[in-house]
Structure 1
Amino acid sequence: MKHLLFLCHRIPFPPNKGDKIRSFNMLKKLSENYIVHLAAFVDDPDDWQHKIKLEKYCASVCLVNLNKKLATIKSAIGLISNRPLTLPYFYSAQIAEFTDNVLSTHNNANIFVFSSSMGQYVDGEKHSHLKRVIDFVDVDSDKWLQYSKKKSWPMNWVYRREAALLEKEELRLAANFDKSLFVSPQEASYFEELVPQKLRNKIGFVLNGVDTKYFSASFYNKLEEEQPFLAFTGAMDYWANVDAVVWFVKKVWPQLTVAYPNLKFYIVGGNPTDEVNALEAVDGIVVTGRVDDVRPYIKGASLCIAPMRIARGIQNKVLEAMAMGKPMVLTSMAADGILIPKEQQKYITDTADSFCESIIDILSSENKQAVIGKANIAVIEQNFEWKSTLDSLLNSFDIQKNNKNTASG
């Protein structure tokens, strides 16, 4: 089997948040076809225990602690070097040394990079003879631009600057790498419009998927609540998720509880910010913090919501709820890149009034909930199972050709 260097900005285990779900499933698939050497940052102390899990899939593992405060100070270097702040934030001499050792020992290895911030380790002419594939996942530069519109000076200037410089970095990496992947055809098409025509044949996508055995409508355990409740799942220190739930509680919840005064709303996810924790002061709002398993909350909810106002790519929270047969009310940004069945489509909305009306409409009929849930399951099973979505990842490396030539580096 051929060797492969896998560079990732966050440890790809446990698969409990969006990017880690995607990176872990990619790692798992690639390990079936390559001898994998992994380098990644660890930004959560609880994740160090999982190194042993990764060794099941990798021949060697290099994990480096990411001290967020120190990394933020380092990122300031970007302000004086005209580089994206993201690059010094995710630079490690230890990962650079690991990368050089792997590629000098296995000089015919392939390279897979997860997220633009990790391209800096292998983007030069030195490695141009190797097959290099990068998964941008989303067009991150556009997310920074979205962030800038939500902030006041001086942070809006910092975020606009990051958006502009990161877009240049994304275009440079796309020119240097053999294949650039994104999370959906829509995201890939958006990026194609940014690159020169000659590079567009190097742009592709790998859809996010769902472990439908794990996120199953037949899952037996559910959170028992006397009153109906809504659920939102996601990492609650991620700004887009924070923005979503704060908007919902401030703009939708007051009018919703006029119709359903005993309704509850569960915000399910680790590391809630102070702003999220403060929402528990509102009647009916429950902030769980980190939970061992989100499925009982999804299973027990009358419906799940995804009121995203900042987003790119595919939302795993939407795929997981759909896989478990839950109806949803979601914004157009949360629905982007996902095949939404016609039964669910009428509940895509971006205004507070319509969001409230959609929830009330679904809550009013258990039969309606069942019909939407059944349609959602069918879409997931037909289009978003990992075993089928990852085929395009292997094709990006010409895996069949590599298997015929089994000489290792």
Structure 2
Amino acid sequence: MNILFLCHRIPYPPNKGDKIRSYNEIIFLSQKHKIYLGTTLDEKSDKNYTPELEKYCEEVFAVHFKRRWRLSKSLLSNKPFSVSNFYDKRLQAYVDRVLKNNKIDIIFCFCSSMAEYVYQSPAFKNDDISKIKMVMDYVDLDSDKWRQYSEYTKFPKNIIYRIEQKRLLEYEKKINEIFNHSVFVSEREVNVFKRWYPEAKNIKVIQNGVDSEFFSSDPGTFTSMEEADDSSFKLIFTGVMDYFANEDGVKWFCRDILKKIKSDIPNVEFYIVGNRPTKRVQKLSKVDGVFVTGYVEDIRPYYVKADVCVIPLRIARGLQNKVLEAMSMGKAVVATSNASEGIICENNSDIIIANDAESFAREVIDLLRNENKRKDIGNSAYQNIRTNYKWETNLATFEELFGKYTE
């Protein structure tokens, strides 16, 4: 079948949550189908990544544009800011051309914002699209993300985020009404959506996977982190560090949790590992025992050296790949419910869950003092990932959906 795959950000390199999922979807779908990829670029230099995607796609059309004026324009309309943020007329022209000149069987949208390219196409407006099946991979319920943001920010941002939450929820409802299938990454997303929209229909959960061969603790697969001080316990947090939820999480950890841990175990180091740390995150390196690495070529050596991986997210949506990667590396993980919800796991078996500063610190201290418990938790996590989080197995559900369209 021919698939028009619309993605809000270029799905390469697979170095953050949404790109990991979209990249693996493209690899999987390309095995049996022709893919016409339309996407946007965060940076002009991201154009250099298109050859990697051309290995799997019949066509790749990627466009870069400045988003700021689009956001200000959307304030005067009723459309969600997210939709304006990812809409460009050149990409619309590509979508229109592909729909006109090719026999497209499926339109696959990755992220709710990409539905606008369907709505604005002549094929949709003229009802020439009725024979094309449409699948929306919401991944996360973005409207709920903006609700959470509004609860952790001050005026005027909290007002803007609340407006976006309301607008985007209505947009998400419309998508569910019009598209043939709505896909989410976890049951949690589905439950929240149905709570706000009981009429929701044709919903499917398709979980992420993990490249467990890559995220393996086998020391022969990568260079070790030799400069680390082995006399200290090491805690690690990984993620793109200009993402608000990650920034909030590490700030909370450094402010309210780390000092409780160090009062009991002074020789503890906390590594914040990830690209694009904001100035607020960079300032955390002034805290005793905190290291902000910025971009690293390979994250695995940091996982290997870590005694415990901490995921102190107060704001979270979807399924946290950082949790899955740490578990795949055989590491003991302490996470909030927000960070772990949606993941197949059992508290005190293959993960430790703690939601307030006091209990979070206490659980980390307990693991640092108990090497056997750390190993048991890590080994259980390792087996969990290899049982439940294989990309090929989880993404095969898309073929089940597509199979219905050929009957």
* TM-score, with structure 2 as normaliser: 0.94
Is 2:115 the counterpart of 1:119? yes
Q: For 2:88, give the aligned amino acid.
A: S
Between the aligned partners of 1:232 and 1:88, the Cα distance in structure 2 is 32
Determine the structure 2 residue equivalent to 1:360. 365
Q: 2:155 — aligned with what? A: 153
- Equivalent residue number for residue 194 of structure 1: 196
Pairing partner for 1:254 from 241, 259, 264: 259
CA displacement at 1:53 relative to structure 2: 0.3
2:207 — aligned with what?
207
- Aligned-partner Cα distance in 2 for 1:375–1:97: 50
Report 1:288-367 matches (<5 A): 288-344=293-349, 347-367=352-372
Tell me the alpha carbon deviations over residues 181-217 of structure 1, each in whole angstroms, 9 at most, x when there is no partner: 00012212322333353x42x1111101101111113
Q: Could you tell me which residue of structure 2 aligns to residue 79 of structure 1?
A: 75
- Following the alignment from structure 2 to structure 1, what is the Cα–Cα distance between the partners of residues 167 and 136? 18
Once structures 1 and 2 are overlaid, which stretch shifts more, 208-217 or 233-242? 208-217
1:91 to 2:87 alignment: yes
3-state SS of 1:81 partner: coil
Q: Secondary structure at the match of 1:100?
A: helix
Structure 2 counterparts to residues 1-400 of structure 1, below 5 A: 2-67=1-66, 71-123=67-119, 124-125=124-125, 126=127, 127-197=129-199, 199-200=200-201, 202-220=202-220, 221-224=223-226, 225-226=228-229, 227-344=232-349, 347-398=352-403
C-alpha deviations, 1:356-406, integer Å up to 9, x for none? 11111001121111100110011111111111111112222227x64x8xx
Q: CA deviation at 1:262?
A: 2.2
Find the aligned partners of 1:346 and 1:216 in 2 and give their Cα distance.
17
Residue 193 of structure 1 aligns to a residue whose secondary structure is: helix
What is the rounded CA distance, in whole Å, between the counterparts of 2:167 and 2:366 in structure 1? 45
Distance 1:4 1:12 in 2: 16
User: 2 CA distance for matches of 1:170 and 1:396?
Assistant: 20
Deviation at 1:242, TM superposition (A): 0.4
Please tell me whether the aligned partners of residues 128 and 176 of structure 1 are also in contact (alpha carbons under 8 angstroms).
no
- Distance in 2, Cα, partners of 1:296 & 1:44: 28
CA contact (8 A) 2:217 2:304 kept: yes
Residues 1:252 and 1:206: Cα distance change in structure 2 (over 3 Å): same
Quick one: which amino acid aligns to residue 62 of structure 2? L
Q: CA RMSD in A?
A: 1.6
**In 2 relative to 1, CA 72–350 (structure 1 residues): closer, same or farther, beyond 3 Å?**
same
SS of 2:263's equivalent?
Answer: helix
Unaligned runs of 5+ in 2: none
**Letter aligned with residue 308 of structure 2:** L
The answer on whether the counterparts of 2:345 and 2:351 sit within 8 Å (CA) in structure 1 is no
Higher relative CO (Cα under 8 Å, sequence separation at least 6) belongs to 1
Q: How far apart in 2 are the matches of 1:166 and 1:302? A: 40
Equivalents in 1 of 2:172, 2:184: separation in Å?
A: 12
Conserved in 2, the CA contact under 8 Å of 1:145 and 1:163? yes
Cα offset for 1:346?
7.1
What's the % identity of the aligned pairs? Answer: 41
Deviates more, 1:331-340 or 1:71-80: 71-80
Contact 2:6 2:39 in 1 (8 A): yes
Q: What SS does structure 2 have at the residue aligned with 1:397? A: helix
Match of residue 407 from structure 1:
none
In structure 2, the CA distance between the partners of 1:113 and 1:233, relative to structure 1 (3 Å rule), is same
Report how many aligned residue pairs link the two structures. 396
Letter in 2 for 1:11: I
Give unpaired runs (5+ residues) of structure 1.
405-409
Q: Distance in 2 between matches of 1:257 and 1:186?
A: 34
Q: In the superposition, relative to structure 1, how do residues 203 and 133 fare at CA in structure 2: closer, same or farther (>3 Å)?
A: same
- Taking structure 1 as reference, are residues 219 and 209 closer, same or farther at Cα in structure 2, changes over 3 Å only? farther
3-state DSSP class of the match of 2:149?
A: helix
Partner-residue secondary structure (3-state), 2:61: strand
Three-state SS of the structure 1 residue aligned to 2:161 is helix
Query: For each residue in 1:42-73, what CA deviation from the matched residue of structure 2 results, as whole angstroms up to 9, or x when unmatched?
Result: 11355322111000001111111143xxx122
Q: Report the AA paired with residue 42 of structure 2.
A: D
Contact 2:350-2:384 at 8 Å conserved across structures? no
Contact 1:192 1:203 in 2 (8 A): no
